């Protein structure tokens, strides 16, 4: 029996055999593989079955508002009547841009009730990114929260022929709306909830998309990834089984619902169990444990940075007295993992994993091994492979027979997932994007035999001797900061257009002590006769970009660095970061207090919470 020595979350030495790990993996996939009741079984069929079985049970809790399954269903059914009046038909797409609140669920579920695919737009998207998100999905109706109205009015979307309904936000008064935008509430008040929703979605199959989630990928503007009904429901069924969850569990949702983690992972599991979901607009460290105790939260969906925030808060009396017992997520480093369980209790089961919104494969750390995203105990039983990747040539080396080369222990490579065999037999389907060209870019062919097809993740990993996998980095230009993927190409395009005095702009991610992910850094070369203006750079960056994409550091260089084939070189810049011992160019850091970039020194680093 092969076994590995593992440091348990409580500090004890434990062993987990390959057979034990494989048994856990098998259990998850056996649950996912259970056939749905019928070929056209959708997310709303599953939800409406819950409404019939437990109508008065609490479904959502938002601030001091509780909605039963029946009440949420009735609200969604009223929205569905409006969608039909607008002429939306099964198979079409409509956009939803609403923050975490009951109205998000009502809008998304209303569309799903009649077989319309919801394009879930990032509530922080601005200008070109927002226009791109709506136009690329072919949506002709937009349901937008009043909290996002300012962003919409910055674009050319109003007046483009798109029907726009504004969903009022109780937290703020609704301003006067320009021509072409309508308050949804007066229209809804005149409508009765749709009673025969199922008849409108009869031709929708389980494999059809339930919603679109935008993912930045490795470069460029966000891409709309399809998420089918079967896949959504399967994820929830799998987690219900793996984490041993049931109807008495309470799920805590603070991550944005337009992201895969909150909706695809957390809420799919809530539907699978019939449990209650507590929804917050945004994550708050000060309210987290208070909410856990107040609502008896048992399950939390995290990203690594959230857990770091919690471990960085001052210790409070009784902070180990809580009901939290399961955490699902990704991006938790070994340091945060060990600090978190030591401080808040080793009884919390952490299911750290890896996957992507559009991926046809995933991994989960079922063995509670800190720092690992998962284990593939028997590679021959998995459709995932770790293959060599050359970052300089941005290609996969092949052997003399033309086959890709699998990585050795501790060798960094890219994860790929098999779509189909050489004979065309589907192994694990890749649903792809709405853009066929972008879909094709993610498919590799003839990897291990002529005719096979594999999905490329763009993620770099290493594995240890016991086949535990550890995330290393993203291929290409994208980096992750504040739990968001940031496309350096998009940042470069937005800043360059708004600040034309910059001749060359090179954007990249740099490691920051004490923080997860990478912060944005921009190396700028000014045009002859132009000087870098720190106040203007701040104004441009904060106006054009979401807060998480605004560069934290700026390096003012005299000349750019290029590779031999005239590509901007990032490798050396990343390595040097903002280290004043090796960087001789002037360095600046973001200061929201002064509303400008300021010369980098120990004082500004301290203000940013960065140790020196």
Residue 203's domain is classified under what CATH number? 3.40.50.980
Domain CATH number, residue 600: 3.30.300.30
Q: What share of the chain is helix, strand, coil (3-state, %, to 5)?
A: 30, 25, 40
Residue 290, domain member (yes or no): no
Residue-wise pLDDT for 139-163, tens only, equals 999 999 999 999 999 887 776 788 9
Domain CATH number, residue 452: 2.30.38.10
Residue 421, domain member (yes or no): yes
Residue 304, domain member (yes or no): no
41 and 155 both lie in a single domain: yes
Residue-wise pLDDT for 377-428, tens only, equals 999 999 999 999 987 678 999 999 999 999 999 998 999 999 999 999 999 9
- Where would I find the beta strands (DSSP E) of 304-367? 326-330, 349-354, 363-364
- The pTM of this model reads 0.79
198 and 252 both lie in a single domain: yes
Residue 321, domain member (yes or no): no
Domain that holds residue 452: 378-476
By C-alpha distance, which of 431, 517, 438, 432 is closest to 474? 517
93 and 128 both lie in a single domain: yes
| Neighbouring C-beta atoms of residue 25, cutoff 10 Å | 20
Mean pLDDT within 562-582? 74
Residue 424, domain member (yes or no): yes
Residue in the structure block whose two tokens are 């998207």: 125
pLDDT at residue 1 tops 60: no
Read off the pLDDT band of 216 (50, 70, 90).
low
| Lowest mean per-residue pLDDT among 64-73, 337-346, 487-496 | 487-496
582 and 523 both lie in a single domain: yes
The predicted structure's pLDDT at residue 90: 96
**Angle (nearest 5°) at CA 127 between 126 and 132:** 95
139 and 224 both lie in a single domain: yes
Read off the pLDDT band of 11 (50, 70, 90).
very low
390 and 495 both lie in a single domain: no
State the virtual CA torsion across 582, 588, 590, 596 in degrees, nearest 10: 180
155 and 229 both lie in a single domain: yes
Residue 320, domain member (yes or no): no
The predicted structure's pLDDT at residue 13: 38
Average pLDDT, the chain: 89
Residue-wise pLDDT for 230-252, tens only, equals 999 999 999 999 999 999 999 99
State whether the Cα torsion 50-52-53-54 is positive or negative: positive
60 and 130 both lie in a single domain: yes
Pairing between β-strand 209-215 and β-strand 117-120 as defined by DSSP bridges: parallel
By C-alpha distance, which of 377, 374, 385 is closest to 411? 385
32 and 129 both lie in a single domain: yes
Higher-pLDDT residue of 132 and 84 is 84
Tokens representing residue 560 in the block: 């750019």
Residue 400, domain member (yes or no): yes
Give the number of residues written for the chain.
Answer: 612
By C-alpha distance, which of 120, 118, 115 is closest to 94? 118
The predicted structure's pLDDT at residue 371: 86
Residue 336, domain member (yes or no): no
The predicted structure's pLDDT at residue 220: 57
**CA 583 to CA 577: how far, in whole Å?**
8
Could you give the 3-state DSSP secondary structure of residue 170?
coil
State the virtual CA torsion across 357, 362, 367, 369 in degrees, nearest 10: -70
Q: Which of 424, 457, 476 is the last residue of a domain?
A: 476
Contact, 513 vs 610, CB < 8 A?
A: yes
pLDDT at residue 219 tops 60: no
List Cα–Cα distances, 256 to 277, 391, 593, in angstroms. Answer: 14, 32, 27
Element (H, E) at 285: helix 285-295
Higher-pLDDT residue of 323 and 490 is 323
Q: Which of 252, 282, 312 is the last residue of a domain?
A: 282
The predicted structure's pLDDT at residue 387: 97
152 and 232 both lie in a single domain: yes
The predicted structure's pLDDT at residue 384: 96
Pairing between β-strand 479-481 and β-strand 484-486 as defined by DSSP bridges: antiparallel
Residue-wise pLDDT for 464-513, tens only, equals 999 999 987 678 666 778 878 677 777 887 898 889 888 888 999 999 98
State whether the Cα torsion 273-274-280-282 is positive or negative: positive
Q: Which of 248, 282, 316 is the last residue of a domain?
A: 282
Residues of the chain above pLDDT 90, percent: 66
154 and 255 both lie in a single domain: yes
**CA 18 to CA 26: how far, in whole Å?**
12
265 and 393 both lie in a single domain: no
- Number of structural domains (the chain) is 3
Higher-pLDDT residue of 254 and 480 is 254
């Amino acid at each position: 029996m092969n076994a590995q020595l593992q440091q348990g979350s409580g500090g004890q030495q434990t062993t987990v055999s390959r057979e034990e790990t494989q048994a856990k993996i098998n259990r998850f996939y056996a649950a996912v593989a259970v056939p749905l009741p019928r070929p056209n079984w959708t997310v709303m069929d599953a939800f409406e079955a819950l409404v019939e079985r437990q109508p008065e049970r609490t479904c959502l809790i938002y601030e001091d508002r509780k909605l039963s399954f029946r009440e949420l269903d009735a609200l969604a059914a009223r929205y569905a009547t409006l969608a039909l009046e607008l002429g939306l038909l099964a198979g079409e797409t409509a956009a939803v841009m609403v923050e975490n609140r009951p109205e998000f669920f009502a809008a998304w579920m209303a569309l799903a009730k009649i077989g319309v695919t919801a394009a879930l737009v990032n509530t922080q998207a601005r200008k070109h990114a927002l226009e791109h998100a709506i136009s690329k999905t072919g949506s002709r109706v937009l349901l937008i929260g009043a909290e996002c109205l300012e962003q919409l009015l910055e674009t050319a979307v109003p007046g483009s022929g798109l029907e726009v309904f504004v969903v009022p936000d109780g937290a703020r008064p609704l301003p006067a709306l320009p021509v072409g935008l309508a308050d949804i509430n007066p229209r809804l008040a005149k409508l009765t909830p749709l009673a025969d929703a199922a008849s409108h979605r009869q031709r929708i199959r389980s494999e059809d998309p339930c919603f679109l989630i935008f993912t930045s990928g490795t470069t460029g503007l966000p891409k709309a990834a399809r998420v089918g009904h079967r896949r959504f429901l399967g994820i929830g069924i799998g987690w219900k089984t793996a984490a041993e969850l049931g109807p008495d569990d309470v799920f805590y949702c603070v991550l944005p619902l337009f992201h895969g983690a909150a909706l695809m992972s957390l809420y799919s599991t809530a539907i699978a169990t019939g449990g209650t979901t507590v929804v917050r607009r945004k994550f708050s460290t000060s309210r987290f444990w208070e909410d856990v105790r107040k609502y008896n939260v048992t399950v939390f969906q995290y990203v690594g940075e959230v857990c770091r925030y919690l471990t960085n808060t001052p210790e409070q009396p009784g902070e180990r007295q809580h009901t939290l017992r399961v955490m699902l997520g990704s991006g938790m480093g070994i340091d945060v993992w060990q600090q978190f369980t030591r401080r808040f209790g080793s009884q919390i089961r952490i299911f750290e994993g890896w996957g992507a919104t559009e991926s046809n494969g995933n991994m989960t750390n079922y063995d509670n091994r800190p720092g690992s995203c998962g284990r593939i105990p028997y590679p021959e039983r998995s459709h995932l492979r770790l293959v060599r990747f050359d970052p300089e040539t941005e290609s996969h080396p092949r052997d003399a027979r033309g086959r890709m080369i699998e990585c050795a222990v501790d060798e960094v490579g890219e994860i790929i997932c098999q779509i189909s065999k050489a004979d065309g037999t589907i192994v694990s389907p890749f649903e792809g994007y709405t853009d066929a060209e972008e879909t094709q870019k993610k498919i590799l062919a003839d990897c291990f035999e002529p005719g096979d097809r594999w999905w490329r993740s763009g993620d770099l990993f290493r594995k240890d001797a016991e086949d535990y996998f550890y995330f290393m980095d993203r291929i290409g230009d994208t980096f992750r900061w504040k739990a968001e993927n940031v496309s350096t190409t998009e940042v470069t395009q937005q800043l360059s257009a708004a600040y034309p005095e910059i001749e060359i702009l090179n954007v990249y991610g740099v490691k920051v002590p004490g923080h997860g992910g990478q912060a944005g850094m921009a190396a700028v070369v000014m045009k002859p006769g132009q000087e870098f203006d720190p106040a203007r750079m701040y104004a441009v960056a904060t106006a054009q970009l979401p807060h998480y994409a605004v560069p934290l550091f700026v390096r003012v260089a005299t000349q750019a660095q290029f590779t031999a084939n005239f590509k901007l070189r990032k490798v050396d810049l990343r390595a040097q970061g903002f280290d004043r011992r090796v960087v001789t160019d002037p360095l600046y850091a973001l200061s929201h207090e002064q509303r400008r970039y300021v010369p980098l020194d120990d004082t500004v680093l301290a203000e940013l919470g960065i140790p020196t």
